[in-house]
Amino acid sequence: MPLSDFILIVFCLVDDLVRQLAPRRLRGRGFAPALADSEVITVELVGEFLGLDHDKGLFAHFRRHYAAEFPGLRKVHRTTFARQAANLYALKRQLHAHLARRLAADRPLWLVDSLPIEACRFGRANFCRRLRGDARFGYDHTRRTTFYGFRLHARCTPAGAVVAFDLAPADVSDQAMVEDLDPPPGSTGVGDRNYWAPKLRDDLAERLGVRLLAPFQTKKHDPDPARSRRLARARWIIETAFGQLAERFHAKRTWARDRWHLCHRLVRKVLSHTVAVWVNLTHGRPALDFDGLAA
């Protein structure tokens, strides 16, 4: 579809949800902002979808090319726009939670994985001031190297929609974050070899009624390779979703200097991905076919 139509669809979706989730005025006092909150969130989400993840570039692009659709952009300064966008963090969390409930409704199967996010280059970790006190050293199993930063832990539907996510320091294990992703009772989750933990599996089954399936911890000593291959085929879609978050949405690029702003950037990236999945599904398209969604 044309990009202008995509922007209109996203705005209508966001505006309807904002009116539904925040019927009262968000600000207790002061003048109403020149840009409506739904307009700011739409600019952020479409900008992230287009790969414009830096506030300065995002604001300049939409002010130059889409001032007719968002006339308030000509009335505000870039810092005012960025401040208003950051202050809508909680509302964007609510928007994602609402869409996640609708996308994951009556789906007993979910996928779980984590994505490493570097705070800085490994060689600069000992003297880097960015995110100091929050970032930790961890191991990246994909690149087989140590890194300094965080991990984005996420739970996805079999279609690839991220329905729950959380940020943790890099030294926190994948297994420790499974319960924080709020797996629904009576459901079944599929992870990779990092989630092989018989004690955790039994504990989740006993307390929450949740089944956690994962291949054996080491491939070399795997007693049932055929089962592991079936589980790997079942969870390939989350690898695709994480690849999109890393490549299209630049989730691994850390512009923030503190954890709060990092969380805000990740929320709008994940929300943009979820909204794109929603638009695809409502238009009868494959959930993760983003390349042909907007031209």
CB atoms within 10 A of CB 162: 26
Instruction: Kindly indicate the confidence band of residue 129, based on its pLDDT and cuts at 50, 70 and 90.
Output: confident
Per-residue confidence (pLDDT) for residue 186, from 0 to 100:
86
CB atoms within 10 A of CB 183: 21
Q: Which range among 124-128, 183-187, 289-293 shows the weakest confidence by mean pLDDT?
A: 124-128
Distance of CA 135 to the CA centre of its chain: 19
Per-residue confidence (pLDDT) for residue 27, from 0 to 100:
61
Mean per-residue pLDDT, 120-134: 74
Per-residue confidence (pLDDT) for residue 159, from 0 to 100:
87
pLDDT tens digits, 214-258: 888 888 888 888 888 888 888 888 888 999 998 888 888 777 777
Q: Is 165 in a helix, a strand, or coil?
A: strand
Per-residue confidence (pLDDT) for residue 147, from 0 to 100:
85
pLDDT tens digits, 81-95: 888 888 888 889 999
Per-residue confidence (pLDDT) for residue 105, from 0 to 100:
76
- Is the model's pLDDT at 179 over the cut of 60? yes
Instruction: Kindly indicate the confidence band of residue 28, based on its pLDDT and cuts at 50, 70 and 90.
Output: low
- Is the model's pLDDT at 275 over the cut of 90? yes
Per-residue confidence (pLDDT) for residue 76, from 0 to 100:
84
Secondary element (H or E) of residue 16: helix 3-21
100 or 221, which is more confident? 100
The closest alpha carbon to 159, from 209, 86, 202, 109, belongs to 109
CA distance 165 to 181: 6
End-to-end Cα separation, the chain, in angstroms: 6
Q: Is 117 in a helix, a strand, or coil?
A: strand
- Is the model's pLDDT at 273 over the cut of 90? yes
Per-residue confidence (pLDDT) for residue 191, from 0 to 100:
87
Per-residue confidence (pLDDT) for residue 156, from 0 to 100:
92
Residue 152 in contact with residue 114, Cβ under 8 Å?
yes
Per-residue confidence (pLDDT) for residue 57, from 0 to 100:
86
Mean per-residue pLDDT, 55-63: 86
List, in order, residues 6 or more apart from 135 with CB less than 8 Å away: 119, 125, 148, 149, 150, 169, 170
What is the pLDDT of the chain when averaged over all its residues?
A: 85
Per-residue confidence (pLDDT) for residue 130, from 0 to 100:
73
Per-residue confidence (pLDDT) for residue 26, from 0 to 100:
60
Instruction: Kindly indicate the confidence band of residue 96, based on its pLDDT and cuts at 50, 70 and 90.
Output: very high
Instruction: Kindly indicate the confidence band of residue 165, based on its pLDDT and cuts at 50, 70 and 90.
Output: very high
